[in-house]
Amino acid sequence: MDTTLASASVIAAGLAIGLAAIGPGIGQGTASGQAVAGIARQPEAEGKIRSTLLLTLAFMESLTIYGLVIALVLLFANPFA
Partner 1 sequence: MINYLSDPTLVPLAALEVGKHWYWEIGNLKVHGQVLFVSWFVIGVIVTASVAASRQVQLVPSGMQNFMEFVLEFLRDLAKGQLGEKEYRPWLPFVGTLFLFIFVSNWSGALLPWKLIEIPAGELAAPTNDINTTVSLALLTSLAYFYAGISKKGLGYFAGYVQPMPIFLPIKILEDFTKPLSLSFRLFGNILADELVVAVLVFLVPLFVPLPLMALGLFTSAIQALVFATLAAAYIHEALESHEEEH
Handedness of CA 39, 43, 46, 52 (dihedral sign): negative
10 Cβ contact list (under 8 Å, min separation 6): 74, 75
Which of 26, 58 has the CB closer to partner 1?
Answer: 58
Q: DSSP state, 45?
A: G
Name the phi and psi angles at 26, rounded to 5: -65, -45
Under rule CB under 8 A, residue 68 binds partner 1: yes
Note whether 76 binds partner 1 by CB under 8 A: yes
Q: Per rule CB under 8 A, is residue 58 in the interface with partner 1?
A: yes
65 part of the interface to partner 1, by CB under 8 A: yes
The mark string for 14-53 relative to partner 1 (x by CB under 8 A, - otherwise) is ----------------------------------------
